[in-house]
Structure 1
Amino acid sequence: MAFKYELLESLGVLSESASGWTKELNIVSYNDQEGKYDLRQWAPDHEKMAKGITLTKEELVALRDLLNSLDLD
């Protein structure tokens, strides 16, 4: 079975490398499953991707709360 993905919604770009790859937060469906929050680097044409992480809404909320509790100054 081939690996299949569909970028459902682009939520934002965190950074861009000199080669044009962007680190993005998106909602992505893998193998026709429900979309999940996805953080990874993408090639400019979104045809290639690097390793990343996928999160459910609950995991994303937990990550947000954790980041908000950190003193990053």
Structure 2
Amino acid sequence: MADIKYEIKENIGIVSESPKGWTKELNIIRWNGRDPKFDLRDWAPEHEKMGKGITLSAEELKKLRDILNGMEL
């Protein structure tokens, strides 16, 4: 598997935390030296491991916000 490089530029917030200490976080992350993107995924307590997640551009995040704002919960 290829070596994945990442740099967490900003932690925006924690969405949830598991009993084992993993947190689902929204961050701005630079992946493999590319432009930073919004990223939602699970992280181990010291960010030494990560789960699968999604990355979104600012435009994609705005569209998702609009979709969520239009939902009745």
Identical positions, percent: 58
Q: How far is the alpha carbon of 1:22 from its aligned partner?
A: 0.2
Q: Following the alignment from structure 1 to structure 2, what is the Cα–Cα distance between the partners of residues 2 and 49?
A: 14
User: Runs in 1 of length 4+ with deviation above 2 angstroms?
Assistant: none
Q: How far is the alpha carbon of 1:3 from its aligned partner?
A: 1.2
Q: Size of the alignment, in residue pairs?
A: 72
Q: Following the alignment from structure 2 to structure 1, what is the Cα–Cα distance between the partners of residues 64 and 27?
A: 15
Q: Following the alignment from structure 2 to structure 1, what is the Cα–Cα distance between the partners of residues 54 and 3?
A: 20
Structure 2 length-normalised TM: 0.96
**How do residues 1-73 of structure 1 correspond to structure 2 at under 5 angstroms?**
2-72=3-73
Q: How far is the alpha carbon of 1:8 from its aligned partner?
A: 0.5
Q: How far is the alpha carbon of 1:50 from its aligned partner?
A: 0.1
Structure 1 length-normalised TM: 0.96
Q: Any gaps of 5 or more consecutive residues in structure 2?
A: none
From the two aligned structures, give the one with the greater strand fraction: 2
Q: CA RMSD in A?
A: 0.7
